[in-house]
């Protein structure tokens, strides 16, 4: 081979190799994830502030807002707060709250004082709704038609509905478009009859939550008192008590990420 022919061949080989090689530090299209828009989750709470006729204060249980919020925000979800009446959310469990809940309270006071009323919630903005517990939920969440509409619309378009402790009180009267109760035929977890008796409120609450869920066709799956229990049934996630709040949020993350 003549020298001129050899040089031409070598240059062509080098050029071909460069054309096949990615530029330095260039993203690999096979491994780089496409940008994903943040999904938004609604945290829904009671606006009821007293335990029946006892006069004792109640509301939404602070750790059942704070712990899920921490999990969901840490997973990259955008979160908004709403309550039945809107405005300031009455809180229970503040006096003996853990450090994480108190830090949440300090950081989010403005949001907790200016929650969106349920009748102004646009369900189309949210990939999921999470009902926080607290005994107040037993009085106003079951019959709040606005929150029921939001949950139905989210669920029927493939979103997630979740609740913890007394939060599942919001589920007992939700019907889907076909007239069936949302919980019918699904496994659920919620504050148990034994736990209600243990806190001596079984004769104060308007109904026993576990019993009412079963009346609606759900299969209630209790754990021993104060033990964590999370149940996932299709796209419904429920938890038994405050110990289950973070676990419910973790299960929501898995469902929303398609795992």
The rounded distance, in Å, linking the Cα atoms of 60 and 49 is 8
**Residue 77, token pair as written in the block:** 């979800």
Task: For the chain, give the number of residues.
Answer: 259
| Helical ranges in 99-172 per DSSP H | 99-107, 109-113, 137-140, 145-156
Domain regions of the chain by residue span: 40-256
Is residue 47 pLDDT above 50, yes or no? yes
Tell me if residue 196 is catalytic: yes
- Of the candidates 165, 195, 221, 228, the residue annotated as catalytic is 165
Which residues are paired to 164 by β-bridges? 239
Are the C-beta atoms of 183 and 152 separated by less than 8 Å? Answer: no
SS3 for 61? strand
Tell me if residue 78 is catalytic: no
pTM of the model: 0.86
Tell me if residue 166 is catalytic: yes
Q: Tell me the average pLDDT of the chain.
A: 89
The distance in angstroms from the start CA to the end CA of the chain is 61
List pLDDT tens digits, range 153-206.
999 999 999 999 999 999 999 999 999 999 999 999 999 999 999 999 999 999
Give domain 40-256's CATH number out of 2.60.120.20, 3.40.50.150, 3.30.70.260, 3.40.50.880: 3.40.50.880
The rounded distance, in Å, linking the Cα atoms of 226 and 143 is 27
- Of the candidates 64, 67, 195, 196, the residue annotated as catalytic is 196
- Of the candidates 48, 67, 135, 166, the residue annotated as catalytic is 166
Torsion angles phi and psi, residue 160, rounded to 5: -110, 135
């Amino acid at each position: 081979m003549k020298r001129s022919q050899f040089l031409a061949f070598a240059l062509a080989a080098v050029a071909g190799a460069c054309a096949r090689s990615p530029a330095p530090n260039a993203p690999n299209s096979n491994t780089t994830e496409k940008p994903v828009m943040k999904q938004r989750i609604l945290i829904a709470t009671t606006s009821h502030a007293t335990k029946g006729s006892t006069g004792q204060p109640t509301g939404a249980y602070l750790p059942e807002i704070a712990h899920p919020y921490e999990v969901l925000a840490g997973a990259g979800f955008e979160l908004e707060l709403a309550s039945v009446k809107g405005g300031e959310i009455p809180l229970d469990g503040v006096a003996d709250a853990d450090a994480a809940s108190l830090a949440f309270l300090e950081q989010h006071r403005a949001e907790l004082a200016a929650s969106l009323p349920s009748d102004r919630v646009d369900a189309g903005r949210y990939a999921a709704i999470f009902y926080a517990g607290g005994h107040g939920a037993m009085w106003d969440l079951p019959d709040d038609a606005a929150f029921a509409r939001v949950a139905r619309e989210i669920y029927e378009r493939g979103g997630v509905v979740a609740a913890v402790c007394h939060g599942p009180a919001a589920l007992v009267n939700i019907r889907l478009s076909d007239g069936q109760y949302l919980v019918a035929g699904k496994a659920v977890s919620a504050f148990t009859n034994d736990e209600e008796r243990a806190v001596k409120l079984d004769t104060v609450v308007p109904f026993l939550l576990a019993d009412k869920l079963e009346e609606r066709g759900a299969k209630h799956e209790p754990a021993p008192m104060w033990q964590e229990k999370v149940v996932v049934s299709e796209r419904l996630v429920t938890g038994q008590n405050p110990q289950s709040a973070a676990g419910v949020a973790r299960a929501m993350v898995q469902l929303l990420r398609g795992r």
